[in-house]
Every structure is written in C-alpha cells, then in structure tokens.
Amino acid sequence: MWKMNRICFLTFVTLLTTVALAELPGDDAYTYMGVATCAASQCHGSAVPRNGSNVLQNEYVTWTQDDPHSRAYQTLGSNRSKRIAARLGLKSATTAKMCLDCHADNVPAERRGERFHLSDGVGCESCHGGAENWLVTHYDVPNIAHAASVSAGMYRTENIEKRAALCLSCHLGTRDKFATHRMMAAGHPRLAFELDTFTELWRTAGRQAHYRVDADYRERKGAVSHSYTWAAGLLAEGRQRLQLINGPRFAANSLFPELSFYDCHACHRSMKTLQWRSLPRHGGAGPGAPFIHDGTLVMAMALARVISPTDGDAIEAGLTALHRASGKNVASIRMAAQELDTTLTSLQSRLSPKLLRGRELQLLREILATGAEGNYLDYISAEQAFMAVQMLVIELDDPFLEDQLDPIADTLNNDERYRPAQFAAILATVAEPEEKPANIDDERND
C-alpha cells in the first residue's frame, strides 16, 4: 500500500489562480474570417488527399464529415439541449453565451469577417486563431515559414503545452467558461479528458486523418512521443483543476462549493446497495463524504513515482491534505489546492521528452501496480488509468499487452456498473501474469 509520509512541499514561485500561458484563440485581437475561407479545393477543401503537398489539403472535408467539432453548434439545437436550456431558464442554447463559448467560435461581433458564421461550430480558427493576417500567406511554404504564420497570429497547436491549454479551455474549463454542477444537473454530460487519447481520436476520426506526422511535419513543427503528450497534458489538467478549485468558483459564501469539482460517482450511486468506500488518500473521510475529483492527480502521482519519487510522495501527501481539507472549509481547501499545485509545478518544470524516453514500461508497471492494489476505487480514476495504459501499450508495441486492452475496457463500459475489484484483478493479471491477483473486497460483487 501507499506510504503515508509527511512531506515538506518544495518552495518556489507559482501562479496561484491562473497558469502562465499564451493568449488562447478567441482572446486575441484578430478578425475571424470563417471556415468558408479555408474550404477552396486548392486550399483545404480537396475531396481527397493531394500528393506532393506538405499537408493533406482535404482538412475541410474531414472536418465536415468526421470531426464532432463541426457539429458542436448543431448539438445546441437538439431536443436534449432544448431541455437543458429550459431547466436552466435560458431562452435557447443556440443563443446563450454559456453554451456558445464552447460549442462555437464565439468571438465578438466586431471581429467576425463577412464569411464567418457562428453556426459553423468549433471550426478552423477555434484552434488556429484568427486568420486575418495569415490566411493569404500561410500556404506559401517554404517561402513563408510556419514561424511567420505564428507571428501573424496563428496559434501553435503543435506545441503540446499550448495544445493542452487550448483543449482544456473547453474540456475542463477556465475562470470564464465552465460546465458547472448546475449545468450537469440540467442534463449536460460529465466531462472527461486526456490529451494524447483525445488528440489521436480527433486526428484519426473517420476515413482520413486530419493531419499526418511525417518527416516534413517533424522538420517544420517538431513532434514528441505519445507518453510525453500524455504526461504534459496530465500535469496541465491537474494544475488547471487545482487553480479552478482555488478560484472564485469555489465560493466561500455559498451554501455548497462548486460540486462539479467532486467525483460524480461519490454521490450518484444506487441507494439499494451499500457502495461508499474510501482509500488512505481520502484522509480518513467517514461514510457519506463526497470526494474531490482526483483521477488525473492520481495519474500524476504514478508519473512522479517514475521520474521524480520525491514529488510522488509529495503529491500523495498533498492529495491526502486536499481530501481532508474538503471536510473542513473553503479556506482550507484553497490552501491545500495551492500547496498541491506547487508540487505539480515542480514536476512540470522538470518534465521533458528526454526524461520519459525509455521509461514507458516502468511507467506502465507503476500504473498497473497502483491499480492492482485497488487504488482506482472510483470510476474516473479507472477511466484515466485505462487511457494511460492504452497509450503506453500502443507505444510499447507489445502484442501480449495489446491483447489485454479489450478485457480492461470491458470493465468500464458502464460507469454505473463499474466494479473496482474486477478492475483491480484484471490490472493485477496484466502486471504480474504468473501471480494470483490481490483479493479486494467489493460489496457490489455480492
């Protein structure tokens, strides 16, 4: 089991409420020209990939046919969205700012070009930034370098840290846009995210890849491993979550804290079966206490145990302190979140592609061993663990391990029927195939 050591947190300067990141698309000062300006057949609207080009040139067709982002605005007109809007007292989800901020490229009216349409949903400029200054020049490679387009306002999605900030701005939220517990109670689905998995699901959606990481791409933009993308996204998500907890949404003068920061399944379970359970990291919380959502933070602890054991111990101690604080008051929660963010900042500052290279198998074993001990008690932690295991197994290219992915995935098909003991037993089998899995009591198996 995990050691419960008291760790002195490392002391250095960290931002307490916001991550120091570049301006995100939508927050810039450029005019947004609209998806139609990218759709010409000689630009990104080719019906098929073109040979002899440094890009596929069919990105617009891929987006319209296979990318869920292209239907983000249309979703707001569905019957489900209409019911959510009605429950929230909104006139329409298609006009409400809280919906449009993530389901469309909701830039101010004065920065919308003649061919811009809000109904295009999450389009090209939602990720690449306002194209006002680079639209007519970025295609002229090698005469116009990628760096020139970046200087003209193109957002650097190839930079993993910037990509994480961009994706998390909707898939987790920011101080300005956030899927609250009130929205989820009205019917909005639970949010889940892991940068590498979601990047690959998006990049390879449908019949054609959105882009290819070939020699030309690597020369112009560089590329990193899947494990680094996972690790960088993990720490970015963990830090952003802690900073949101430490921000104004965790209001000190409200009857309840912002409940979307808590693990959904800590409360939303059947009343017919005794299902409440806690682990050492929950700090001795008694029956009925909800737990703060810590799935990504548990993964960050596993990462740290491989690349920086001292930080791993500090994250474990910080998680325990955070859970204990959640049973006290908002001031205690904010202080614990701030201290844990300091530890993640320390780990983030040392993370590099070189540091992870050659440690993929060690990292996989750490995640499996942590799960075999029963530490993925909640569905969200198990979900994060599976995405990490899947990424590492694919990167290791091990046929035996790949055969184990489907049985692991099957245990997560239904979050209401998730059984921690079953999940732990399968992970134990994969981690130590010759040894008997640990016997972990689970009343839901009765």
The mean pLDDT of 118-128, rounded to a whole number, is 95
Q: Is the pLDDT of residue 269 over 90?
A: no
The three state secondary structure string of the chain is CCCCCCCCCCCCCCCCCCCCCCCCCCCCCCCECCHHHHCCCCCCCCCCCCCCCCCCCCHHHHHHHHCHHHHHHHHCCCHHHHHHHHHCCCCCCCCCHHHHHHHCCCCCHHHECCCCCHHHCCCHHHHHCCCCCCCCCCCCCCCCCHHHHHHCCCCCCCCHHHHHHHHHHHHCECCCCECCHHHHHCCCCCCCCCHHHHHHHHHCCCCCCCCCCCHHHHHHHCCCCHHHHHHHHHHHHHHHHHHHHCCCCCCCCCCCCCHHHECHHHCCCCCCCCCCCCCHHHCCCCCCCCCECCHHHHHHHHHHHHHCHHHHHHHHHHHHHHHHHCCCCHHHHHHHHHHHHHHHHHHHHHCCHHHHCCCHHHHHHHHHHHHHCCCCCCHHHHHHHHHHHHHHHHHHCCHHHHHCHHHHHHCCCCHHHCCHHHHHHHHHHHHCCCCCCCCCCCHHHC
pLDDT in tens, 283-311: 877 667 788 899 999 999 999 999 999 99
Residue with tokens 């999605």: 157
- Whole-number pLDDT of residue 272: 61
The pLDDT value recorded for residue 431 is 79
pLDDT at position 276: 63
| Separation of alpha carbons 106 and 99, rounded Å | 10
**Six token digits for residue 272:** 């017919």
The domain spans of the chain are 210-445
| Peptide linkage before 142 cis (omega within 30 of 0) | yes
Query: Using an 8 Å Cβ cutoff, are 69 and 126 in contact?
Result: yes
Residues 128-157 pLDDT 10s:
999 999 998 888 877 888 899 999 999 999
Smallest Cα–Cα separation from 126: which of 21, 35, 237, 22? 35
Task: Give the range among 76-90, 196-210, 215-229, 271-285 with minimum mean pLDDT.
Answer: 271-285
Higher pLDDT, 241 or 217: 241
Burial class (CB in 10 A: 0-12, 13-18, 19+), 269: middle
Contact 105, 32 (CB under 8 A): yes
Cα angle 209, 211, 212; round to 5: 95
| Cα–Cα distance measured from residue 9 to residue 6, given in angstroms and rounded to the nearest whole number | 9
What integer pLDDT is reported at residue 270 of this predicted model? 65
The answer to whether the CB of 44 falls within 8 A of the CB of 57 is yes
Q: What is the pLDDT of residues 23-73, one digit of tens each?
A: 899 888 999 999 999 999 889 999 888 887 888 889 999 999 989 999 999
Q: What is the pTM of this model?
A: 0.87
pLDDT tens track for 3-32: 323 222 222 223 323 333 448 998 889 999
pLDDT digits (tens, 9 = 90+) for 314-333: 999 999 999 999 888 888 99
Q: What angle do CA 326, 330, 335 make, to 5 degrees?
A: 85
Q: Write the pLDDT tens digit of every residue in 74-91.
A: 999 999 999 999 999 999
- 173 forms beta bridges with 178
Q: What is the dihedral of CA 309, 315, 320, 323, to 10 degrees?
A: -160
CA–CA separation, 207 and 201 (whole Å) = 12
| CA–CA separation, 203 and 211 (whole Å) | 7
Rounded to the nearest integer, the mean pLDDT of the chain is 86
In this model, does residue 374 exceed pLDDT 50?
yes
Q: Where does the pLDDT of residue 236 fall: very low under 50, low under 70, confident under 90, or very high at 90 and above?
A: very high
Query: What is the per-residue pLDDT across 242-261, written as a single tens digit (0 to 9) for each?
Result: 999 988 888 777 777 888 99
Q: Which residue type occupies 371?
A: G
